[in-house]
Amino acid sequence: MEAAPTDPPYNSTVAARLGRRRIPIHTTLYWGHKAYVLFPCWPGDNPVMYGLSLVLVFTMAVLVEWLSFTDMVKFKPGKNDVVAGVLKTAIYGVRTGLSYMVMLAVMSFNGGVFVVAIVGHVIGFLVFGTQAIRRKKAGSDPGKTSDL
């Protein structure tokens, strides 16, 4: 019987006994482009794909902040509030899904992904959530902080 690998961070010896491929499992932040972000084998060992995954995580984090502070759906007196409520619920669902995708990407424990997710949220909040930028928009209510 083959002995289990001794260098962490690899999964249990059960996978080795069953002949399955060993998947690296990190439990601390590590730095490098060899990572799995959101999907198995993606981005893998390719630094260009790793960069693309960082751009994707950054974009998702900015979108989460945009959806948090957007005012796309407004309730108007005399109009059908059910349609507006359903649209707001759909926006909330998309925002929540994107939030969980960013969280799962950060759970890859890759330091670059962690930093990019934080920077994406910060930039998104700076652009869409701060009062200084919101006051410059014509007709915006400075007291309103979120569409949701």
Q: pLDDT of the chain along its 148 residues, tens only?
A: 555 555 545 445 555 555 565 556 677 787 888 777 877 777 878 889 899 999 999 999 999 999 998 888 877 777 778 888 888 999 999 999 999 999 999 998 889 999 999 999 999 999 988 865 666 555 555 555 555 4
Structure token pair of residue 148? 């949701």
Instruction: Assess contact for 147 and 91: CB atoms under 8 A.
Output: yes
Provide the whole-model pTM: 0.71
* 23: nearest Cα among 38, 40, 2: 40
pLDDT of residue 143: 56
Cβ proximity of 145 and 69 under 8 Å: yes
User: Would you say the C-alpha torsion 117, 51, 70, 148 has a positive or negative sign?
Assistant: negative
Q: How far apart are the first and last CA of the chain?
A: 58
Bridge partners (DSSP) listed for residue 35: 44
